[in-house]
Homo-oligomer: A and B are copies of this chain.
Amino acid sequence: MIHTDKIASANEAAEAALRADYDALGVQLDRRGVDIEGVKEKVAAYGIAVPSWGVGTGGTRFARFPGEGEPTSVFEKLDDCGVIHRLTGATPRVSLHIPWDDADPADLIAKAEETGLGFDAMNSNTFQDHAGDPHSYEYGSLSHTKAPVRRQAVEHNLRCIEIGSKIGSKALTIWVGDGSNFPGQSHFTRQFERYLDSARAIYAGLPEDWRLFTEHKVFEPAFYSTVVQDWGTNYLIATELGERAQCLVDLGHHAPNVNIEMIVARLIQFGKLGGFHFNDSKYGDDDLDTAAIDPYRLFLVFNELVDAAGTPDFDPAHMLDQSHNVTDPIESLMNSAMEVQRAYAQALIVERAALEEYQEENDPMMASETLKRAFRTDVTPILQMARLEKGCAIDPLSVYRASGYRARIAETRPKSAGGGGGIV
């Protein structure tokens, strides 16, 4: 963990400049009729989940270059996640992935308490074969042509719910690798019918207060077709299953050029937006750090979310899902959590009454400028002040680097094997 003293002394050195910047920004926002304190409070209250697997080094099918001190168990992962939340105050929950994080629920709960964390959605895995399982997922899982394979995949998902129920999770996220690599390999309709049947069996095992999130993806690991290829199919799934089934949006899972913020709006409108896997992408499911490539797109997504705030039953889950191939995962997750907060803060200061008027009067220039004005605003002081007031770090990256945490854990955690292709 990071010593509170270190945070405090670093903050002390930075506080004067922060207060000056915060005040100057407050004056600016006041001119626009925006109350900086209100924005800060909402940012302070905001939290996003981190994925347990995100604290390990990612990789590609070509190679994985493991970093120092990679976590070797879910408990070490929780330690790392605890550091992220301790410094940023922005990541109060962790999302587990089964079987990677399978462990005694009591131990998980104890560790979560120790690290100041809670548990978010459970993630099942039927895109890989599990040691001990009789059936392979090479040709699919929930949509496999053979009933025993589908059954095994359903059972695994029910097991994820079981574990989750014991540790306070309230949602199951399903993403499958099912699809095909050749035209003709799969009969699209029968394949999707099988998927729906399996999904219904899982939904039937869902506790009353849980939600089921399904996630679409246009390609990879299947390269000709995927069963849940886009939000259209994802919407059909959620509709077929029932009220507690909703759609998850991952920012890298779309065809090129697709307008993602519009998909978000459609799912909100029809009551089916379950939540997000935040990351960024330039080409495909690149799983790059959130806002690394196109920060305006992230802002536009949050613009939809802030606009919809207050809609009854509107409660999307927010989670990061990134592959950290060339950075320290703790740094990337801290930074990405702050980028999400930034987009949220920017969306909060959009002058919505004016925007609505410009939209109504078909004034695209001023409507665009209204969004741009909010986006251009450097809200860093708001984020920093929210952290300072929570006892977190004004500058989490520099405190983290100064803390020596990575070097310390590298001493006690064995260096992992690198070599070939990595895992998400």
Which A residues form the contact surface with B (CB < 8 A)? Answer: 17, 20-21, 24, 27-28, 31, 53, 56-65, 127-129, 136-139, 145, 177, 180-190, 192-193, 218-221, 223-225, 229-233, 235-236, 254-259, 261-263, 265-266, 268-270, 281-284, 286-289, 292-297, 300, 303-304, 307-308, 321, 323, 325-328, 331-332, 335, 342, 355-356, 358-362, 364-372, 375-378, 380, 397, 418-424
Interface centre among A189, A192, A236, A370 (most CB of B within 10 A): A189
Contacts of A183 in B (CB 8 A): 261, 292-293, 296, 300, 303, 368, 371
What are 5 pairs between A and B in contact, CB < 8 Å? A21-B28, A63-B422, A185-B362, A255-B256, A323-B423
- Complex formed: what's the CA distance from A283 to B297 in Å? 14
The count of identical subunits is: 4
Among B24, B139, B283, B332, point to the contact of A257 (Cβ < 8 A): B283
Contacts of A64 in B (CB 8 A): 421-423
Among B17, B282, B355, B422, point to the contact of A223 (Cβ < 8 A): B282
Interface centre among A65, A321, A328, A365 (most CB of B within 10 A): A365
Closest B residue to A62 by beta carbon equals B221
Interface centre among A17, A129, A293 (most CB of B within 10 A): A293
Is B283 a contact of A223 with CB atoms below 8 Å? yes
- Complex formed: what's the CA distance from A300 to B294 in Å? 11
Contacts of A59 in B (CB 8 A): 61, 421-423
- Complex formed: what's the CA distance from A192 to B185 in Å? 37
- Complex formed: what's the CA distance from A177 to B323 in Å? 17
Is B423 a contact of A365 with CB atoms below 8 Å? no
Contacts of A367 in B (CB 8 A): 182, 184-185
Contacts of A139 in B (CB 8 A): 326, 362
- Complex formed: what's the CA distance from A254 to B256 in Å? 10
Least distance between A348 CB and chain B CB atoms (Å): 15
Is B356 a contact of A369 with CB atoms below 8 Å? no
A421 in contact with B182 given A255-B255, A266-B232, A296-B296 (CB within 8 Å)? no
Among B62, B184, B266, point to the contact of A423 (Cβ < 8 A): B62
